[in-house]
């Protein structure tokens, strides 16, 4: 007998299209799931009332699924996100209630890794200024910097903080760019992965001191909040650039602004900020040595297709009595 899985979201055309895709994927996975849409705009009481039989919830509007709502769903076993980040979920609390959390299984790893490398090149070659200059008719007369301010990735050391699915995808795509890859992670990485990616493990302090480019690929948890702050910027090369395409609060933003203004590091390229949307007067938006994109690194149709496919495969595993994949630890 099929087990109920709830898709929690807004009642709009985008969600209706998503439900159509989900139903196709359910059929492809043996119809182990009875899929139900619940309108998140109905409020927590309505969500609880309509989701009591659900063994899993796929939140399309994530932040409406609170711990209090989870506490009132006696059959719930899994929160299945279609994003890599799960920082909006109080995972220790929901795990205590017997509910596990799974992310998208790296469904956005290709898009985010490509965007990450694009940010590296954009920062090194001042692509934001070049594009603006050409489109404004100035051609290049107002592009800031002398030739010594423009760089290639060749022979640079790229330090990857977090060699998970996205970090590995970045390392894989840097093969052939003739740069040295070092990494740091809190978990042990198999030697064969290091060899395949030509990546050498360093302590975080060693990585920060050695790298020309530091790129962050860690989840936002209590242990990673402001993990890059004043002390860490003090360890970095004055010629280094920081790339952040994971979560904004991993970086202490005031400390980053201070480091950039003081010349402690040479620049930054950021897809994420501590507050999103950020305020218009955020100094990072007007700094000539900072590239900012609006948290769109994963924005690609391929990311959606892969992540939704994984989500239905994973809840179908649960419905068949199997252990779901890509579970996120309760930290």
Say which DSSP state 1 is in: -
Within 8 A by CB and 6+ apart from 90, the residues are: 67
pLDDT of residue 63: 79
Whether the per-residue pLDDT at 142 is higher than 90: the answer is: yes
Residue 130 pLDDT level (bands cut at 50, 70, 90): very high
Write down the catalytic residue from 21, 295, 299, 313.
295
Residue 313 pLDDT level (bands cut at 50, 70, 90): very high
Nearest to 28 by CA among 264, 318, 310, 329: 310
Say which DSSP state 295 is in: S
| Residue 319, CA distances (Å) to 9, 11, 86, 98, 329 in order | 21, 25, 22, 16, 21
User: Can you tell me the distance from the alpha carbon of 295 to that of 277, in angstroms, rounded to the nearest whole number?
Assistant: 9
Within 8 A by CB and 6+ apart from 248, the residues are: 270, 272, 273, 274, 275, 276
Whether the per-residue pLDDT at 185 is higher than 90: the answer is: yes
One-character DSSP codes across 21-72: HHHHHHHHTTT-EEEEEEEGGG-HHHHHHHSTT-SEEEESSGGG--HHHHHT
User: Can you tell me the distance from the alpha carbon of 5 to that of 26, in angstroms, rounded to the nearest whole number?
Assistant: 10
Q: Note the pLDDT tens digit of each residue in 226-278.
A: 999 999 999 999 999 999 999 999 999 999 999 999 999 999 999 999 999 99
pLDDT of residue 1: 86
Residue 174 pLDDT level (bands cut at 50, 70, 90): very high
Cis link prior to 277 (omega < 30° from 0)?
Answer: yes
Average pLDDT over residues 164-169: 98
pLDDT of residue 175: 97
User: Can you tell me the distance from the alpha carbon of 182 to that of 199, in angstroms, rounded to the nearest whole number?
Assistant: 5
Residue 61 pLDDT level (bands cut at 50, 70, 90): confident
Residue where the block lists tokens 């003739």: 178
Tokens of 52: 């009591």
Asked whether 38 and 47 are in contact (CB, 8 A), the reply is yes
Q: Is 295 a catalytic residue?
A: yes
Whether the per-residue pLDDT at 146 is higher than 80: the answer is: yes
109-292 CATH, one of 2.70.98.10, 3.30.230.10, 3.40.50.720, 3.40.50.300: 3.40.50.720
Residue 211 pLDDT level (bands cut at 50, 70, 90): very high
Within 8 A by CB and 6+ apart from 144, the residues are: 126, 129, 288
Which of 11-25, 59-73, 130-144, 258-272 is least confident? 59-73
Beta-carbon-side half-sphere exposure of residue 67 (alpha carbons within 13 Å): 12
User: Can you tell me the distance from the alpha carbon of 321 to that of 102, in angstroms, rounded to the nearest whole number?
Assistant: 16
Write down the catalytic residue from 115, 168, 217, 247.
247
Where are the domain boundaries for CATH 3.40.50.720 in the chain? Answer: 3-105+300-319, 109-292
Write down the catalytic residue from 276, 302, 320, 322.
276
- Positive or negative torsion for Cα 262, 267, 273, 279: positive
* Cβ neighbours around 235 below 10 Å, total: 18
Average pLDDT over residues 154-183: 98
Residue 60 pLDDT level (bands cut at 50, 70, 90): confident
Q: Is 276 a catalytic residue?
A: yes
Whether the per-residue pLDDT at 62 is higher than 80: the answer is: no
User: Can you tell me the distance from the alpha carbon of 175 to that of 178, in angstroms, rounded to the nearest whole number?
Assistant: 7
pLDDT of residue 331: 87
CATH superfamily, region 3-105+300-319:
NAD(P)-binding Rossmann-like Domain (3.40.50.720)
Which of 44-48, 58-62, 217-221, 306-310 is least confident? 58-62
pLDDT of residue 304: 96
Say which DSSP state 5 is in: E
**pTM of the entire predicted model:** 0.94
Q: Note the pLDDT tens digit of each residue in 278-293.
A: 999 999 999 999 999 9
pLDDT of residue 92: 96
Q: Is 247 a catalytic residue?
A: yes
């Amino acid at each position: 007998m099929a087990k109920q899985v709830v898709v929690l979201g807004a009642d709009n055309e985008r969600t209706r299209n998503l439900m159509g895709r989900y139903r196709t994927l359910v059929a492809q996975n043996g119809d182990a799931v009875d899929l139900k849409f619940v309108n998140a705009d109905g409020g927590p009481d309505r969500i609880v009332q309509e989701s009591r039989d659900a063994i899993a919830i796929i939140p399309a509007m994530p932040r409406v699924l609170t711990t209090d709502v989870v506490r009132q769903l006696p059959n719930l076993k899994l929160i299945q996100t279609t994003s890599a980040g799960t920082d909006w979920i109080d995972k220790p609390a929901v795990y205590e209630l017997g509910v596990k959390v799974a992310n998208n299984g790296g469904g956005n790893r290709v898009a985010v890794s490509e965007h990450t490398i694009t940010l590296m090149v954009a920062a090194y070659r001042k692509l934001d200024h070049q594009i603006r200059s050409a489109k404004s008719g100035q051609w290049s007369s107002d592009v800031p910097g002398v030739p010594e301010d423009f760089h290639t990735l060749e022979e640079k050391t790229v330090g990857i903080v977090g060699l998970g699915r996205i970090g590995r995808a970045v390392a894989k795509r840097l093969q052939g760019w003739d740069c040295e890859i070092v990494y740091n992670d809190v978990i042990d990485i198999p030697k064969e992965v290091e060899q395949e990616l030509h990546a050498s493990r360093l302590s975080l302090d060693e990585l920060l001191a050695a790298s020309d480019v530091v790129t962050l690929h860690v989840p936002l948890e209590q242990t990673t909040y402001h993990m890059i702050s004043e002390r860490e910027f003090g360890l970095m090369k004055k010629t280094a650039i920081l790339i952040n395409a994971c979560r904004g609060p991993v970086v202490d933003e005031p400390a980053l602004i201070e480091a950039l203004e003081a010349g402690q590091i040479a620049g930054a390229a950021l897809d994420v900020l501590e507050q999103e949307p950020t305020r218009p007067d955020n100094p990072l938006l007007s700094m000539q040595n900072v590239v900012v994109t609006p948290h769109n690194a994963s924005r690609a149709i391929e990311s959606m297709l892969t992540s939704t496919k994984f989500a239905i495969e994973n809840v179908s595993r649960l419905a068949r009595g199997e252990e779901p994949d890509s579970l996120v630890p309760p930290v």
